[in-house]
Chain A
Amino acid sequence: MIAFKKPTDIIENTPVSFLRMIINYQNYSFKNIFDLSLGLDLSGGSHLVFEADTSKLEASKKEQAIKSLRNVIEKRVNLFGLSESNVQTSSFEGKDRIIVELPGINDPKEAANSIGQTAQLVFVEVKEGSPSATIVPTGLTGADLASSKVVFDQNTGKPSVSFEVINESQNKFAEVTKRLIGKRMIIFLDQVVVTDAIVQDTLTTNGQVTGNFTVDEANEMSDLLNSGALPVPVKLVEEKTVGATLGADSVLKSVKAGIVGLVMVMLFMILIYGKYGVIADIALVIFGIITLAIYKLVPITLTLPGIAGFLLSVGMAVDSNILIFERLKEEIKNRPLVSALEISFGRAWDSIRDANVATLVTAFILANPLDWSFLHVSGPVRGFAITLALGIGISLFTGIVVSRNLLRLFAREEKRI
């Protein structure tokens, strides 16, 4: 039997703030300001991919089966009490997959096992007795159900859930329900109560669960009954588990890499372009702050490749400035500074736009925001593409708006002197 971890058992380490780490490191008091949400490779956690065996199903029932399967898995995952877990489906060349992301889990093996178990729907009866009531399986399971759907009462308009029994089980069903008329019968899905009902009548071919449900509740119950009725076996085909310590180590190292890289770039810009380089550096710092703010607001889940995407976009953000400055070198030969500046911006903009659109196109394909099933729907590629695309978008803004206005201001001062 499956035992689920209580929410309190799970280490509360998501989201961990990577900035908080550096700040703590320096005994600073700015905690929680930049609480960024971190992906599994940084916060620690498990990435599980299950493959559904739909070979025994008719094509028409497949979609419904996958939908129910996803719902059941989501329910099971929710029982782990992880706030940022994520369940998604992917279908590629007839293979249906369920991708589960569990941040900060402490027993990934058990999690994988309990998630991957075939949905088990069981009907139990309640034997009243002293000192307490006990539940006894009736022998009826989800395998006895053919299908289930939500129906609305013709008189009251209230939703209820109807189900049909497969031919082979009709005798068994009739026998059990006849015996239990007026008594409680509970339906469990993986130890969770789906419904707790009083048997009203002898049921043979079909039955109905009535009660005070909302439409949503009825739909959910019907899904659960369907998933019990259509057990789709799943197989774990991929597991990637990263321990929290390794994740934290990666965070520290990439932050260090980021800082070292940034300092080198900033020094280089000042070395090559002098005071203009200082302006580019200010624009770069603003770029960094806006990017962090957007990561926090959206929020963007940062992964290791995501950080790499960000670092690469820093390089591209500086490029806008380099293009403008190089142009300025040429234009300044023929014109006064102020007009040379404006012309440089105008001309450099064409290159900046055309070049960045090409990168954005690739980032778009890699990020696959429309969830095209023939491309990557999850994982590191996506994390990388999202931060790269965001970086390019923001760099267009800071390169053109921020650098431009700073340079204008600078040119005006220069003129006054």
Chain B
Amino acid sequence: MISKAWPTASVNWMKYRLLYFAISAIFLSAGIFSLLKWGLNLGIDFTGGVVTEYQLPNGEIKNEKYGVKSEEEINKIRKDIKTQGFKELRFEVVGPAIGPELIKKTLYALEISAILILFWVAIQFRSIKFGVSAILAMIHDSLILVGGFSLLGHFMGVEIDFLFVTAVLTILSFSVHDTIVVYDRIREKQRKYDPMLGSDMTKIANSALTETMVRSINNSFTIIFMLLALVLVGGDTIRWFGVALLIGTISGTYSSPFVAVPILVTWEEISNRFKNREKKLKK
């Protein structure tokens, strides 16, 4: 409830910076390990091939997957379904040339959005540090997501399809969305000089995180509710898309206060140390 009784004390979030980096490192290395060892379980959108889904007369639904086939073979698969009296529900044929094209186009989309967001954040916050740490948090989230799906692919046979690509791209924007809200509070505190905080980035960041933490968590909950519903009742076609968005949302929520801001603060500290050293040298 909105009431006047709300804690005002600022939590010293930045004190546990190493812990946050360690948590991220664990998840990242698990994902990267899986990526290097098992790679991704690519679906026919990437490898090319044939996927059919059909219904038997008794209502049972069956899936069948084939590799790349010739035109005659494809026609035969189709005819077989028909002659056996099964009802064709879905029939997908993807040529082998489509996958590489899909990957290239996605990479272009990634590059363009990352560059545009970097510029937007850098201009909006008048600092390249803000932009770069937001992008690093974004890369963190996409690695967690891709790594997570590498694990899911290995242990549960989950395939990477076209929708997964969409999920990754969405998570990029969500990650930045969430980071910007925290940044915005930091900027506000930098502009409005507070004698309690001074111009110390660590104190400012702690205070900004304290104030935005509840919002971040509440907001993520609303998105998580929508996505959970999608995963649980949204049907098979879209289930893993929902899971991808769910992993990304959780990682995106975590990365704003615990990846982007700590990087920003650490960077600020290091560059201040250098500045001070220069000043000392000049003296």
The interface of chain A, by Cβ under 8 A from chain B, is: 41, 49, 51, 92-93, 95, 108-109, 235-243, 245-246, 249-250, 253-254, 256-258, 260-262, 264-265, 268-269, 272-274, 276, 304-305, 308-309, 311-312, 314-316, 318-319, 322-323, 325-326, 328-330, 332-333, 347, 350-351, 354-359, 361-363, 365-366, 374-376, 379-381, 384, 388
Contact = CB atoms under 8 A, between A and B. Distances in A.
Nearest to B219: A319
Contact of B235 (A249, A311, A363, A388): A249
Contacts of A236: 71, 93, 95
B221 interface: yes
Interface stretch (B23-31, B152-160, B210-218, B274-282): B210-218
A241 B235 contact: no
Contacts of B116: 361, 365
A274 B173 contact: no
Contacts of B113: 361-362, 365-366
Nearest to B82: A109
A59 B222 CA distance: 54
Contact of B230 (A243, A308, A356, A357): A308
Interface string B130-166: 0000000000000000000000000000000011011
B89 A242 contact: yes
B172 interface: yes
Given A355-B177, A358-B176, A332 B2 contact: yes
Given A109-B78, A268-B222, A332 B117 contact: no
Contacts of B3: 329, 332
Contacts of B88: 241, 243
B262 interface: no
Contacts of B112: 365, 375
Contacts of A235: 95
B95 A238 contact: yes
At the interface, is chain A mostly helix, strand, loop or mixed? helix
B105 A375 contact: yes
Interface string B80-98: 0000000111111111011
B242 to A, nearest CB: 7
Given A363-B173, A381-B162, A243 B87 contact: yes
Interface stretch (B9-17, B33-41, B181-189, B196-204): B181-189
A376 B221 contact: no
Contact of B163 (A264, A365, A380): A380
B45 to A, nearest CB: 9
A243 B223 contact: no
Given A239-B92, A257-B230, A332-B4, 10 more contacts: A51-B95, A95-B97, A240-B90, A257-B234, A261-B225, A273-B2, A315-B227, A330-B211, A351-B184, A355-B178
Contacts of A363: 173
Q: For the complex of A and B, list the 5 residue pairs with the smallest distance between their C-beta atoms, beginning with the closest.
A: A315-B223, A261-B229, A237-B95, A362-B173, A253-B235
A269 B222 contact: yes
A93 to B, nearest CB: 7
Contacts of A351: 180-181, 184-185
B226 A312 contact: yes
Nearest to A379: B162
